[in-house]
Amino acid sequence: MSLAELIGNTRIKATLAGYLRNERVPSSLIFAGSDPYHQLQFAMNFAKALVCQKGSHFDACDRCRPCLAIDRGLYPDVRVLEPDGQFYRKAQLDELIATACQRPMQGERRVFILRDAQRPNESAANAFLKTLEEPLPSNVFILLTTNINLILPTIQSRCQILKFMPLSNHEVKLELQRRGVDPEKARLMAFFSAQCVEDLSEADWQEMEEKRRSMLCIMERLIRQSEVEDILLDLYDRSRGREAFIAYFREMVNLISVLLRDIMVLLVDPESGTLINSDYKEKLMELAALTDIDKTFFLIRKMEFLLRDIQRNLNARVLILEFINSYSPQGMAANG
Ligand SMILES: [Zn+2]
């Protein structure tokens, strides 16, 4: 891959390309943002563009020996470091500093990428600071962090700071497709998963599928008012472990809200191609026939209130009853 092929954060891509084009590469950079994998991809491809022997002025060719070696983690002048345990140890950074004093082994530049750069202990950070203060023109340091506030201000002030935006759903989808995930599956994964692309795997997909299926089943029973007692008992059972219950309940209400929105879309326009759960269209059509726009709107609002009440830390039993009652005919009549 090259810089140009990276997905998302186009502004940062343009900034990096600008450094390369103008041959004004800062000796130390901080890449700050919520997705460590995404930042690492940017850092690796920027390093590649810096040492590539055949690319244009501002990007990597992705084919020359250094480019290929970097992809395999075998290029000696591009090093990725991570904390040894919870923190970077002093010995680790001493070794890095000693290497940084020597000339690069193969090309003109040497790039050090530090993952979780907010984690050196203090004496290690101070030793490292000296290296940043007296930069060798051949060295480039890229510090990756998910929490820039934990990086010493003295280090921050020596670095060019680039702040990364989280990827949008659409960008996550494109990134998954680039990694070979089929487009429809990528669309659903991007929609339902947290935005960290690194964490998405086949196992997550299966787990998510199972959740979606079981939430559809719960919603169907509630709308049809059949076996509601079982749902109630299951939720009471789960509410014994408070933390796990809240996580489950929040996810359940979220997923059901999305299903309800799909029903709303079908009620407004049965031919609409904008369903999120388009693979459940047939079942959702059946359920749409049992309800109407007003009731569905009421339920969507109700689910929003419940999500807010979870934040407010309301009693688990109150939340459960509110949830179940919103679907009962009396509940709808009383509130709607
Ligand atoms: Zn190259």
- Helix intervals (H) in 193-290: 202-224, 228-238, 242-268, 281-288
Give residue 199's pLDDT band: very low, low, confident or very high (50, 70, 90). low
d(CA 91, CA 276) in angstroms, rounded, equals 51
Residue 107: pLDDT over 90: no
What's the pLDDT at 85? 84
More confident of the two residues 191 and 33: 33
- List the Cα angle 267/222/231 in 5-degree steps: 150
CA–centroid distance, 2 to ligand 1, in Å, is: 9
CA of 111 from ligand 1 middle (Å) equals: 15
| Cα separation values, 172 from 5, 180, 208, Å | 14, 13, 16
pLDDT value of position 197: 61
How far is CA 5 from each of CA 45, 60, 170, 278, rounded to the nearest angstrom?
A: 9, 10, 15, 30
pLDDT digits (tens, 9 = 90+) for 13-35: 999 999 999 889 999 999 999 88
Its pTM stands at 0.72
Question: Which residues fall inside 5 Å of ion ligand 1, going by CB?
Answer: 52, 54-55, 60-61, 64, 67
Tell how far the Cα of 60 is from the centroid of ligand 1, in angstroms: 5
Burial category of 240 from C-beta neighbours within 10 Å (exposed 0-12, middle 13-18, buried 19 and up): exposed
- Kindly give the distance from the C-alpha atom of residue 255 to the centroid of ligand 1, in angstroms, as a whole number: 45
What is the distance between the alpha carbons of residues 302 and 322, in angstroms, rounded to a whole number?
9
Distance from residue 75's CA to the centre of ligand 1 (Å): 12
CA-CA-CA-CA dihedral for 282, 287, 291, 292, to nearest 10: -20
CA of 70 to the centre of ligand 1 (A): 10
d(CA 124, CA 10): 34
Packing angle, helices 202-224 and 228-238, rounded to 10: 130
142 vs 204, more confident: 142
Residue 336 has pLDDT above 60, yes or no: no
| C-alpha of residue 80 to centroid of ligand 1, in Å | 18
To which residue do tokens 């959740």 refer? 211
Q: Which domains does the chain have, with CATH numbers?
A: 3-166 (3.40.50.300), 168-195 (no CATH), 201-335 (1.20.272)
CA contacts within 13 A on the Cβ side of 119: 16
Which residues touch 181 (CB under 8 Å, ≥6 apart)? 189
Q: What span, in angstroms and rounded, lies between the C-alpha atoms of 114 and 139?
A: 13
